Structure 1
Amino acid sequence: MKIYSLIIMAALLVGCQPEKEKIIIPEGKVGLIGYGSLTSSKQMEQQLGKKYDGPVQIVHLTGYQRNWNMVFPNNLPHPPVDHIIMCIQDQDTIIPQSIVNPNLEAKEGAFMNACFFIIDEQDLSIIDRTEKGYERIEVTQSIREFEVAQGKVYAYQALPNYTIIPVSNNPYKNVIPDVYLEFLNAAFKEKGEAYKKEFEQTTVGFDESLILECSIENDSL
């Protein structure tokens, strides 16, 4: 009798759980997940090259974790305006071989905080160009906070040939530019201490020796 009571109670608890909020993404629009420095309207405007007045909502992606394992060759100009990264190592200016960036990787049972935007569908081609080394994947069903009843949501994941575990024994090889971390800190100030703390908790850590003082230079110089 006791076992049956427990089963009934469990069924009632499941049945009493509130349904997810359902949202509709308007026709001609798509959802976009930002999980690195892309956490504000300002950053989105820099990506798109125009004003952004859509939503910026903190959400969680289930089945994914953030990892600093996207490595982009520094001899390829960086978007959006063909930048290269120059760094300081032992008071010398160096041009590192590769730049380490955050990545979105699938992991069962994991989750991570991120930001949700809605942009014009035609602007996806702009993001595709600026997210060099990444591919666009659909994550419509992976948002914890709501169910997307209409429309699609995308995020960017590193291509396999740009996904490695960066090593720190050669400063000319893999570098995390301090300027990128400054972008992140600016985002944390805007989103608050709780967002920063959860960002760190839902991110695979990295070797801090990868961080170097860097500047962004135009490739034409």
Structure 2
Amino acid sequence: MSNSAPERPGPRDSATARYEAIRNMIVDGSLPPGSLLLETVLSKRLGVSRTPVREALARLAQEGLINREVRGYVVKRRTPEEILEIYEVRIVLESACAARAAEHASPYDLARLEHLTAEAGTCTDYETHLRLNTEWHAGLRAAAHNETMTRLLDELSVLQQIYNPQMHVRKPAELGEGQAQHVRIIEAIRRGDAETARAAMTEHLSRVRDLRVAAFLDNHGKG
């Protein structure tokens, strides 16, 4: 049996780790919109050479989280128009997921969605509520059993997350209505009613879109 030392992460592993680290800093607001991303500064901050940082920045630019400008890469500035664009695509894809879930969801898929809905319904902590909501939508996508739609929605979710710190909806009545809509979607899935599930998800996400745009404008001013 060999006692050789474990292999060191290769360049590709290092680039992936740096990509995830920088993306997390963008999503959580540590690198706010308009921040200039210099390879030298980031490589020093992350304790790595410039090569994996350069590869990570190229990947983030491809995903639309940062832009290439004359000075270098800059964290993308956020606009209400982009929120609308994200939701326009998400509504089409996730309503299709709801319809597919009505046709393909397993008993386990339904049990998972029902459990998350019940847990969120009794939750009083806002951050926990957000986590449960994220898990519910992930469960809905899984219940559709379509890997392509899930992957595309996961990519949209990353873009959407950069807006989350600035457009939280904290009113209990609004959170309660969102939960009620989740229940209606689950009921349609349980009945195998694909078109009602699709329509209910479209209504749900259209409402969330409008709330989030309004919250963004309130935080940034309408002028």
TM-score by length of 2: 0.23
Greater relative contact order (Cα 8 A, min sep 6): structure 1 or 2? 1
TM-score by length of 1: 0.23
